[in-house]
Amino acid sequence: MRTRIKICGLTRREDILAANRWKQDYIVFVFAESRRQVGKEKERQLKNMLRPGILAVGVFVNGDPEEEAGLFREGVIDLIQLHGQETEEDIRRIKLLTGGMAPVIRAVSVTGPESVRQWADSSAEFLLLDNGPGGTGSAFDYRLLEECLPEKPFFLAGGLEPEGVKEAVEALKPFAVDVSSGVEPEGVKDEAKIRRFIRNVRTPVNF
């Protein structure tokens, strides 16, 4: 199975152009309060620049399901990622508001097997396994997942960098890998690092 690639926190025209060049699978717009938050209208402009086939994920933390569903219906985002204390009821509400059309990624702070298992029956299509609240750029001990890899497709996050991502993919076989600060050495996305990250995930594809 091909491992998909998701680059989080794109904020500039240059980021989108790089995404188009290297054909990652997902890009992420951060709607939660963050230095990477740029606002709905800017996100809409950036989304319109994406090449067909690259999907935009909106990241929210304890947001309003009505707003999240509205952004999906308007085409600003293609998937909804919940990264706070949202409940299964919140996920079902999003499904109701979008006619069941919006794919949901539920972020999980991995502290042990139970933190993953509690979402086994979630109506979210995907889990995202991360360290702490997410966005910290710090890795967690992947050995915590050895006995509790979810049956659901999952995104692997938490301190991934171009160096070492291939080993993580081979060990855990995630549906996708998620990176942000690992390709952002000076506070902005670095295209050379993005290219190296993608190459290391997709080897032996020629780059």
Given 15, 25, 90, 130, the catalytic residue: 130
Q: Identify whether 130 is a catalytic site residue.
A: yes
Q: Is 181 left (phi over 0), alpha (psi -120 to 50) or beta?
A: alpha
In the chain, which residue ranges form alpha helices assigned H by DSSP? 13-22, 40-49, 65-73, 88-97, 113-117, 165-172, 191-202
How many C-beta atoms lie closer than 10 Å to residue 147's C-beta? 10
Find the angle CA(134)-CA(155)-CA(15) to the nearest 5 degrees. Answer: 70
Distance CA 144, CA 193 (A): 28
| Catalytic residue check, 90 | no
| Contact assessment for residue 105 and residue 127, using Cβ atoms and an 8 Å cutoff | yes
Catalytic residue numbers?
A: 8, 130
